Amino acid sequence: MTIHDWQRLGDETLLRYKVFEVRKSRRRSPRTGKDIGFFLIDTPDWVNVVALTTDDRLVLIRQFRHGSERVSLEIPGGLIDPHETDPVQAAARELREETGYEAARIEPLGVMNPNPALFSNRCFVYLATGCRAVGELEMDPGEDIEVITVPVAELDALVRNGEIEHALVLAAFAFWRARAPVRPE
């Protein structure tokens, strides 16, 4: 069977909030011809940053996440601001704000759709190398962040032990690992 795009029949915004909108989108199935409603979330694109220090340590953050109701171990990242014309600007800003680090170099690793069943946005993933601490964190009012660094060699254990479980963070590491040379243990 060949899969075809569904025809968009109309959209209705149900909720507008500061960082997202919820809409009901009516679509027609090319297979059955039936009109079906889907609930979608529109939000600005995001960035995530795999940050490495000059001594081969990962820069990670811990913060409380309200959806899971617990502290999560993650990489820096966030929304691309409306004035940022290139996602790399947001990557550098988020790294600086959430960790106090700046990178000597930032390069793209990949782009993903966080959940194509519900979200319309993309998440851009960057590798920041030569990172060094340059100042204090610049947290948003809704953030409480702890910055830690861990040797790259400990990453697999953090994932295996469930200490890193954020799906977008795991996907960012997959992008990084897919292009990084194998490192001796």
Q: Measured between alpha carbons, how far is 157 from 110 in angstroms, rounded to an integer?
A: 24
Instruction: Give the pTM.
Output: 0.93
- Helix ranges (DSSP H) in the chain: 87-99, 155-160, 167-179
Read off the amino acid at residue 141: P
- Say yes or no: 11 and 55 in one domain: no
pLDDT for the residue numbered 183: 52
Same-domain status, 31 and 67: no
Structural domain harbouring 27? 7-42
Q: What is the pLDDT of residue 181?
A: 59
pLDDT attached to residue 184: 46
Specify whether 96 is located in the same domain as 167.
yes
Tens of pLDDT, residue by residue, the chain (185 residues): 899 999 999 999 999 998 999 999 999 999 999 999 999 999 999 999 999 999 999 999 999 999 999 999 999 999 999 999 999 999 999 999 999 999 999 999 999 999 999 999 999 999 999 999 999 999 888 889 999 999 999 999 999 999 999 999 999 999 999 986 555 44
Q: Are residues 107 and 147 in the same domain?
A: yes
- Domain identity same for 153 and 69: yes
What pLDDT was estimated at residue 107? 96
Q: Are residues 67 and 21 in the same domain?
A: no
Query: Do residues 70 and 23 share a domain?
Result: no
Is 55 inside any structural domain? yes
Look at residue 172 in the predicted model and tell me its pLDDT.
98
CB neighbours of residue 115 within 10 Å? 12
Task: Verify that 75 and 110 share a domain, yes or no.
Answer: yes
For position 97, which CATH number holds? 3.90.79.10
| Position 20 in a domain | yes
Give just the sign of the alpha carbon dihedral 32, 38, 41, 42.
Answer: positive
**DSSP conformational letter for 113:** -
In a shared domain, residues 148 and 107: yes
My answer on whether 38 and 60 are in the same domain is no
Q: Give the angle 177-156-109 at the CA atoms, nearest 5°.
A: 20
Which DSSP string corresponds to 147-177?
Answer: EEEEEGGGHHHHHHTTS---HHHHHHHHHHH
Domain match, 107 and 163 both: yes
pLDDT at 140: 85
The reply to whether 57 and 98 lie within a common domain is yes
Residue 141 has a CB neighbour count (10 Å cut-off) of 5
pLDDT value, residue 180: 60
